[in-house]
Amino acid sequence: MPWELKSDRPIYTQLIEQIELMIFSGVYPLGSKLPSVRDMAQEAAVNPNTMQKALVKLEEDGLIITHRTSGRSITEDARMVEMAKTKLAQEQISEFLEKMQLMGFEQKEILTIIDNMVKGMKK
């Protein structure tokens, strides 16, 4: 999964989001060992200090565990990952709904658009 970092938002925030997506999608499976901070920073083309800051935040959130002598790994707590995944989904949906309301759509219209798009995806 390539690192897609844009200049319109803080890199630190984007790193957190990208790593979360890698965990949720299984790129980094539960319990797996993460590459070193230096390796991850090099792959993402960012400063190692920025990557370190993002990993510390993910550790505070419970998605990453630090082992004193053997680096970092993804938590094995599937419930914790599922809760974080749901929280991210709710944030994304909330942003979307706010934008739709700013465009002048009513709740019923938004639901109709979403329903039509979901039906179109099933094909």
- Regarding whether 49 and 21 lie in a shared domain, the answer is yes
Model pTM score: 0.80
Q: Which pair of tokens denotes residue 54?
A: 């993002």
d(CA 76, CA 107): 38
Dist. CA 51–CA 120, nearest whole Å: 39
Q: What is the tally of structural domains in the chain?
A: 2
Boundaries of domain holding 94: 79-119
Amino acid in position 110: I
Q: State whether 83 and 32 are in the same domain.
A: no
Helix, coil or strand: residue 5: coil
Average pLDDT over all residues of the chain:
93
Residue pLDDT, tens place only, 84-100: 999 999 999 999 999 99
Q: 44 and 26, same structural domain?
A: yes
